[in-house]
């Protein structure tokens, strides 16, 4: 309620309002500037209240709004809520027709907006007896790119000019929902569209007739009601959510001077928080829809932290109460505000201040505005110019980043302590939440700028900024870790209960069983069986030489490990018992009674097996008959006894366990640490250190990316792309979340879809049933159930039906789903088959599938009772999967396989028909996992500590998998790249992994993966048409190596075992490609250069090379060869001219991004960048060229040794 102007007394009812207030105002309506109706909301409003509409003391108030009292009520509407005001034929005060002026003004505090927020309007209420589109007039706020813009709407009535039509005017400028109180006004004379005027906060705003166009036609007029706060039966999408005050309706034009006088606003000083001495205090506020100014009113900060400098490279993450990354922004509120406070004492004198910011920013010093930077530019399209590199005021200074704004102003210090406040917008309507390279820097005129900070300072050079960015990343990472761990604890009691349930219900043998004891027992049993095997008879020879090849060629694909139809032709007992038909496949001595003979003798268009191809020849059928007649013996070729291998030496163990845990070979310091320990405990100590190393998590990310089919794209998602939930994988592993919780969080798909929450798993772009794709992943990952074929039909080689997969999909969808036509095999396919098809379709298109658990045999009956919300089918699914014995066995088998080179069950993701090679060992591993509280590190510790793991590696022994030692393995692609860089002491230094470095495009179409440090961080670099202008040459050089060794740049489907067959590309990418050049080059970026510069004898240098690259000492012959190569020139290898040490400045290229990649210059720049990347870093000038080349030859030979890529 205003108190400085006269206003209408509050009237308690529409009748009272009519009899007392309306008549005098109507008489002066044309010229007085007085409203015909006004609502100040200091008493109960007239009319009928619908929904939650109350008077609250939250109105605009002094001193911020001096025309109001310090305590002021307003109408609070919790949408959908509204007030109905009656209209009658006798009362035409609400009716407006051609020639009539209508003006409306109001104070509004809008919390949020969906599409439109009705302030007041007549008609279009949806009441019975009235047309649904009878809008006489309405003043609304409309959502335009997150801003609330003034909107005037009416419907013209049908006449000789044409049918009725909508006419809508919308302002081009508005305000952000949630930014406090604003004043809006509209004036319009019906029949004269050019008279439309809109105002926001006392200022006129431009706009356009954006629906129906301008018109001179008359509006619809009837006796429908006037509603305050909503329309269309109270639909939420058009309801006002917030507060309204001083709402007034006029029948005359409102002059702009009058409107300007209505809005009086006095900004209130921001309350300064307590800033620790020597620190910058940073507050994160929002979200807000504002992106071109600092909102004048904000809620309390969502987060506060301290740092040393006034610069920013990344935002901390938000975490939900499960400890999963969530979104800071919501709905149309896409921006956050960073507010940074500090104090700075400067010597008296003149300075220059530099401000860089990607979004709008404002710098205040001692409460005075010093400088602002404009809002982030919206560079839509792809044809913008390629701008010259920004000029720098000081030689050697780092230019500002692409689309960051820079302002430099003069500043004089009086020598006292200055209060500094820096505020910046991060994000925007379509922008990602990225800082660019935002900072405040200061310099004496002509000197190098330094980032302002009461603590550590950084020069604004390349080296200085990179040093700051690394420190800031560490600071933010530590903060994220702290907040995440605190959020994780919220669910800890529940998971403790879950693990107590597992201990009580899922353990098979409570007593601990040692890995080595179980393996030894299994090997002893196998050896005893082999020793007792009798010498081969003539029938044995006939089976081995004649029958076994026939069965292997025609039957084993489906009837060996897979046991299709519950029959195995490599197991005599299975043949005697028969498969799912119930008839024995083989009756020894009686081929006519053997169902196998019927199957292989049937006609091709009948039930013959095999169903495809030529089938068995007459001679082959006769041989099988003869074999059955002779007794169907299946004695195998006698095998030698299995012998355990010896334990490896310490160097081999350390390299093996380092690569298996952290994905990297050990450094010289780590080798020294290992050998300084007591020999009796050094291996266990190393295992403990490595399992607690933060790099352990990074080594496992790539594995789970394959298993979960994590498949993000850099731009414009295509078939089966997901969100980047790799960051959730990493953080869950860093926190060592119990593996059942890890799996549950994946299936619950929580948090942010595009900024790294497990909700990224929920996305399957261009997929007709995304949750069916997710059910497939869950089945293979956690249950050992392969349902790939069940996506479109019943699985021909498994017992699973399509309905099973879609029941899981319905549970993940939290509702019943219908099978679309596109997810089934067309009926025409079966009509063309000459014989009965192997595949069946039992789930018909259009069938409704309920969310029900389909795998009762694989889960516990009581599992559904331990969920937090039994009505949530997704939670029930996660509990059925993880609170089962099968889950523990599958996870134990996965971990065992990765560390030992072969699975107890193989393949690890398809258990049907594939029994464990050692059931007792699998059982013991699963029990140990459950007993540890599903701590996968504890299970890994048990495996790594065993003799089985520490023995010499052996070749695979086929289906036996007795684990007399670990099986020989090659490193994964990620381990090869990461270990190679790590061994030579280089970092990746690739381009930023994004095609929109400006951050102006939303994350659902353009993801930014940052600057990678490890190989798991890469993704496909494919773009729409393989445009050179979008190439990332340094990143591509690394991806070429990864792909050569089996890494998938696209993961549309899950896999658990990569292709590891050697190929000709593999030696080429290491020996001759760009990546190999980088590794070998002794540059100023290589730690091997520093090694070569050390004052040491040649043998010490050779030893260090072998230890760094191969984790072992050289043999005497190897040492002699390297001496012969490196001794010439070694004593004089150092360059004495100190001036030669000055490194050449790096070549700097103009910025190319999506917004300008179709400019022809972009291609030229990227071609130059590729050539520059191929050259690699320039060689150091601190070593003589002749000796350096010899040393590089030595490094090349070790890098291309098979030892570099094999886990010893």
Per-residue pLDDT band for 1144 (boundaries 50, 70, 90) equals confident
Per-residue pLDDT band for 1081 (boundaries 50, 70, 90) equals very high
Give the per-residue pLDDT at 27.
32
Per-residue pLDDT band for 960 (boundaries 50, 70, 90) equals confident
Q: Mean pLDDT throughout 799-807?
A: 89
> Could you tell me which residue, 1207 or 16, shows the higher pLDDT?
1207
| Strand segments (E) across 783-914 | 817-818, 848-849
Give the per-residue pLDDT at 605.
67
The number of CA neighbours under 13 Å toward the Cβ of 885 is 15
Task: Report which of 1050, 1032, 1011, 1035 is spatially closest to residue 1157, judged by C-alpha positions.
Answer: 1032
Q: Mean pLDDT throughout 1150-1167?
A: 95
Intrachain domains 14-262 and 280-487 with the same fold: yes
> Could you tell me which residue, 638 or 376, shows the higher pLDDT?
376
pLDDT(33) > 90: no
Per-residue pLDDT band for 3 (boundaries 50, 70, 90) equals very low
Per-residue pLDDT band for 20 (boundaries 50, 70, 90) equals very low
Q: Mean pLDDT throughout 459-478?
A: 96
pLDDT digits (tens, 9 = 90+) for 1001-1034: 999 989 999 999 999 999 999 886 788 999 999 9
Provide the terminal-to-terminal Cα distance of the chain, rounded to the nearest Å: 81
In the chain, pLDDT over 90 holds for what percent of residues?
75
Give the per-residue pLDDT at 636.
64
Contacts of 464 (CB under 8 A, 6+ apart): 398, 450, 451, 458
DSSP string computed for 1119-1149: HHHHHHHHSTTTTT-B---GGGGSPPPPP--
Residue pair 892/939 in contact (Cβ under 8 Å)? The answer is yes
Which range (232-246, 420-434, 577-591, 747-761) has the least confidence? 577-591
pLDDT digits (tens, 9 = 90+) for 769-785: 999 999 999 999 999 99
pLDDT digits (tens, 9 = 90+) for 670-716: 999 999 999 999 999 999 999 999 999 999 999 999 999 999 998 87
pLDDT digits (tens, 9 = 90+) for 217-247: 999 999 999 999 999 999 999 999 999 999 9
Residue pair 141/116 in contact (Cβ under 8 Å)? The answer is yes
The residues that bridge with 169 in the sheet, in sequence order, are 152, 209
Q: Mean pLDDT throughout 89-111?
A: 91
Q: Mean pLDDT throughout 908-937?
A: 96
pLDDT(979) > 70: yes
What tokens does 506 get? 């899922």
Name the CA dihedral angle for 562, 568, 571, 576, rounded to a multiple of 10 degrees.
150
- Residue 955 DSSP class: -
Residue pair 270/298 in contact (Cβ under 8 Å)? The answer is no
pLDDT(19) > 60: no
Burial of 606 (0-12, 13-18, 19+ CB in 10 A): exposed
Q: Mean pLDDT throughout 1104-1129?
A: 97
What average pLDDT does the structure give for the chain? 91
Q: Mean pLDDT throughout 876-896?
A: 97
CATH of domain 14-262: 2.60.120.200
- The class of domain 280-487 in CATH terms is mainly beta
Q: How far apart are CA 752 and CA 762, in angstroms?
A: 10
Q: Mean pLDDT throughout 374-381?
A: 87
pLDDT digits (tens, 9 = 90+) for 965-974: 999 999 999 9
Residue the block writes with tokens 């044809």: 383
Q: Residue 204 CB: number of other CB atoms within 10 A?
A: 15
Indicate the SS3 state at residue 112: strand
Q: Give pTM, 2 decimals.
A: 0.86
Which range (172-176, 554-558, 891-895) has the least confidence? 554-558
Residue pair 466/1011 in contact (Cβ under 8 Å)? The answer is no
Task: Report which of 701, 644, 703 is spatially closest to residue 954, judged by C-alpha positions.
Answer: 644
Q: How far apart are CA 284 and CA 857, in angstroms?
A: 50
Give the per-residue pLDDT at 15.
30
Contacts of 681 (CB under 8 A, 6+ apart): none
pLDDT(536) > 70: no
pLDDT(718) > 80: no
Residue pair 428/332 in contact (Cβ under 8 Å)? The answer is no
Give the per-residue pLDDT at 831.
67
Per-residue pLDDT band for 16 (boundaries 50, 70, 90) equals very low
pLDDT(1187) > 60: yes
User: What residue spans define the domains of the chain?
Assistant: 14-262, 280-487, 547-629, 973-1207
In the chain, pLDDT over 70 holds for what percent of residues?
95
Per-residue pLDDT band for 1139 (boundaries 50, 70, 90) equals low
pLDDT digits (tens, 9 = 90+) for 259-276: 999 999 998 888 899 999
């Amino acid at each position: 309620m205003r108190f400085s102007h006269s206003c209408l007394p509050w009237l308690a009812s529409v009748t009272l309002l009519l009899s007392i207030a309306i008549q005098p105002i109507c008489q002066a309506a044309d010229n007085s500037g007085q409203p015909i109706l006004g609502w100040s909301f200091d008493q109960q409003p007239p009319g009928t209240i619908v929904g939650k509409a109350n008077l609250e003391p939250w109105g605009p108030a002094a001193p911020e709004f001096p025309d109001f009292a310090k305590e002021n009520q307003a109408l609070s509407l919790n949408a959908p809520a509204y007030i109905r005001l009656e209209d009658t034929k006798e009362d035409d005060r609400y009716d407006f027709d051609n020639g009539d002026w209508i003006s409306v003004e109001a104070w509004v505090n809008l919390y949020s907006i969906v599409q439109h927020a009705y302030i007041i309007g007549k008609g279009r209420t949806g009441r019975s007896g009235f047309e649904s589109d009878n809008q006489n007039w309405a003043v609304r706020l409309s959502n335009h790119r997150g801003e609330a813009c003034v909107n005037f709407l009416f419907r013209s009535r049908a006449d000789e000019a044409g049918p009725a039509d909508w006419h809508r005017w919308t302002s081009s400028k508005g305000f952000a929902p949630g930014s406090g109180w604003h004043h809006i006004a509209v004036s319009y004379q019906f029949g004269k569209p050019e008279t439309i005027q809109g105002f926001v906060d006392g200022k006129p705003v431009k706009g356009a007739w954006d629906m129906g166009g301008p018109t001179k036609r008359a509006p619809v007029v009837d006796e429908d009601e006037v509603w305050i706060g909503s329309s269309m039966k109270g639909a939420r999408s058009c309801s006002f959510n917030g507060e309204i005050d001083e709402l007034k309706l006029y029948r005359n034009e409102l002059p702009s001077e009058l409107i300007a006088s209505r809005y009086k606003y006095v900004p209130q000083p921001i309350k300064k928080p307590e800033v620790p001495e020597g620190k910058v205090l940073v507050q994160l506020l929002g979200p807000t829809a504002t992106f071109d100014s600092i909102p004048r009113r904000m809620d309390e900060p969502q987060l506060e932290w301290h740092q040393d400098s006034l610069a920013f490279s990344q935002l901390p993450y938000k975490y939900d109460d499960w400890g999963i990354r969530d979104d800071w922004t919501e709905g149309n509120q896409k921006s956050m505000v960073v507010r940074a406070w500090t104090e700075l004492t400067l010597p008296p004198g003149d300075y220059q201040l530099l401000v860089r910011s990607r979004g709008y920013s404002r710098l205040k010093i001692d409460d005075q505005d010093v400088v602002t930077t404009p809002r982030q530019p919206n560079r839509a399209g792809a044809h913008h110019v390629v701008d010259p590199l920004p000029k720098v005021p000081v030689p050697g200074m780092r230019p500002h980043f692409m689309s960051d704004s820079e302002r430099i102003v003069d500043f004089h210090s009086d020598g006292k302590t200055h209060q500094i406040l820096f505020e910046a917008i991060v994000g925007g309507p379509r922008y990602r939440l990225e800082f660019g390279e935002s900072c405040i820097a200061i310099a004496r005129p002509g000197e190098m700028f330094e980032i302002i900070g009461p603590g550590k300072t950084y020069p604004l050079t390349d080296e200085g900024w990179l040093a700051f960015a690394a420190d800031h990343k560490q600071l933010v990472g530590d903060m994220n870790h702290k907040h995440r761990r605190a959020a994780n604890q919220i669910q800890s009691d529940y998971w403790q209960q879950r693990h107590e349930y597992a201990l009580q219900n899922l353990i098979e043998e409570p007593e601990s069983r040692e890995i080595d004891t179980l393996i030894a027992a299994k090997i002893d049993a196998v050896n005893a069986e082999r020793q007792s095997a009798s010498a081969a008879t003539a029938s044995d020879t006939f089976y081995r030489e004649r029958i076994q090849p026939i069965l292997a060629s025609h039957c084993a694909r489906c009837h060996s490990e897979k046991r299709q139809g519950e029959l195995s032709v490599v197991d005599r007992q299975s043949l005697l018992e028969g498969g799912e038909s119930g008839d024995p496949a083989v009756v020894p001595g009686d081929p006519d009674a053997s169902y196998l003979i019927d199957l292989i003798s049937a006609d091709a268009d009948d039930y013959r097996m095999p169903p495809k191809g030529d089938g068995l020849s007459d001679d082959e059928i006769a041989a099988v008959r003869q074999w059955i007649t002779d007794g169907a013996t299946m004695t195998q070729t006698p095998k030698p006894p299995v012998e355990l291998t010896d334990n490896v030496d310490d160097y081999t163990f350390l390299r093996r366990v380092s690569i298996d845990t952290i994905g990297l070979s050990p450094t010289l310091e780590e080798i020294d640490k290992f050998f300084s320990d007591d020999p009796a405990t050094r291996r266990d100590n190393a295992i403990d250190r490595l399992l607690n190393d933060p790099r352990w998590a990074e080594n496992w990310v790539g594995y789970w990316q394959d298993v979960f089919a994590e498949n993000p794209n850099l731009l414009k998602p295509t078939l089966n792309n997901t969100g980047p939930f790799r960051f959730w994988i990493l953080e869950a592993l860093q926190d060592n979340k119990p593996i059942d919780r890890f799996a549950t969080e994946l299936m619950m798909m929580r948090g942010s879809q595009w900024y790294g929450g497990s909700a990224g798993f929920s996305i399957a772009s261009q997929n007709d049933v995304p949750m069916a794709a997710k059910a497939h992943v869950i089945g293979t990952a956690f249950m050992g159930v392969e349902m790939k074929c069940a996506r479109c039909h019943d699985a021909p080689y498994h017992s699973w039906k399509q309905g099973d997969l879609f029941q899981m999909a319905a549970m993940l969808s939290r509702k019943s789903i219908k099978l679309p036509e596109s997810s089934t095999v067309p009926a025409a396919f079966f009509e063309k088959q000459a014989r009965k098809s192997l595949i069946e379709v039992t789930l018909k298109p259009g069938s409704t599938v309920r969310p029900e658990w389909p795998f009762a045999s694989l889960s516990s009956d009581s599992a559904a009772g331990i969920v937090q919300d039994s009505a949530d089918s997704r939670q029930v699914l996660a509990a059925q999967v993880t609170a089962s014995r099968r889950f523990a066995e599958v996870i134990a088998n996965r971990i065992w396989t990765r560390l030992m080179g072969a699975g107890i069950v193989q393949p690890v993701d398809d258990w049907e028909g594939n029994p464990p090679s050692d059931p007792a060992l699998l059982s013991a591993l699963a029990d140990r996992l459950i007993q540890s509280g599903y701590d996968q590190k504890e299970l890994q510790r048990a495996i790594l500590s065993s003799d089985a793991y520490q023995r010499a590696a052996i070749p695979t022994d086929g289906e036996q998998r007795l684990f007399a030692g670990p099986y020989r393995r090659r490193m994964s692609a990620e381990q090869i790249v990461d270990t190679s860089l790590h061994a030579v002491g280089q970092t990746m230094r690739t381009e930023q992994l994004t095609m929109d470095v400006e951050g102006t495009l939303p994350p659902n179409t353009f993801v930014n993966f940052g600057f990678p440090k490890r190989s798991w961080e890469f993704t496909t670099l494919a773009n729409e048409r393989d445009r050179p202008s979008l190439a990332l040459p340094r990143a591509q050089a690394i991806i070429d190596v990864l792909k050569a060794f089996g890494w998938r740049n696209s993961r549309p489907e899950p896999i658990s075992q990569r292709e590891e067959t050697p190929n000709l590309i593999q030696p080429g990418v290491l020996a001759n490609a760009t990546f190999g050049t980088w590794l070998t080059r002794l540059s100023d970026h290589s730690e091997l250069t520093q090694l070569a510069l050390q004052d040491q004898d040649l043998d010490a240098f050779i030893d260090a090379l072998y230890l760094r690259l191969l984790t072992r000492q050289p043999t005497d012959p190897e040492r002699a060869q390297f001496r012969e190569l490196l001794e010439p020139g070694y004593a004089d290898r150092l360059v004495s001219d100190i001036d030669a040490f000055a490194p050449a400045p790096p070549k700097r290229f103009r910025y190319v991004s999506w917004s300008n990649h179709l400019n022809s210059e972009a291609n030229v720049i990227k071609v130059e960048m590729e050539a520059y990347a191929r050259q690699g870093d320039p060689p150091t000038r601190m070593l003589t060229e002749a000796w350096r080349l010899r040393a590089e030859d030595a490094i090349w030979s070790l890098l291309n040794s098979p030892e570099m890529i094999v886990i010893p």
